Amino acid sequence: MKLLTHNMLACHVRSHKHEEAQPFLIEVTEQGEADADFDPAFLERMFDRIVWKTLYDGALAMGIKDLPESPTKALLDDEVFLRAFHHALLEVSLEEGFLICPFADPSKPNEKRKFAVTKGVPNLLLDEHEC
d(CA 36, CA 93): 11
CA 122 to the chain's CA centroid: 12
C-beta of 86: minimal distance to other proteins in Å? 11
C-beta of 89: minimal distance to other proteins in Å? 9
d(CA 131, CA 125): 9
Q: Residues 39, 77, 78, 79: which binds other proteins (CB under 8 A)?
A: 39
C-beta of 12: minimal distance to other proteins in Å? 5
CA dihedral (10, 13, 18, 24) positive or negative = negative
Cα-flanking dihedrals φ and ψ of residue 98, to 5°? -145, 150
Q: Residues 17, 19, 48, 129: which binds other proteins (CB under 8 A)?
A: 48
Q: Which residues bind other proteins (CB under 8 A)?
A: 1-2, 4-5, 8-12, 14, 21, 34-37, 39, 41-42, 45, 48-49, 90, 119-126, 131
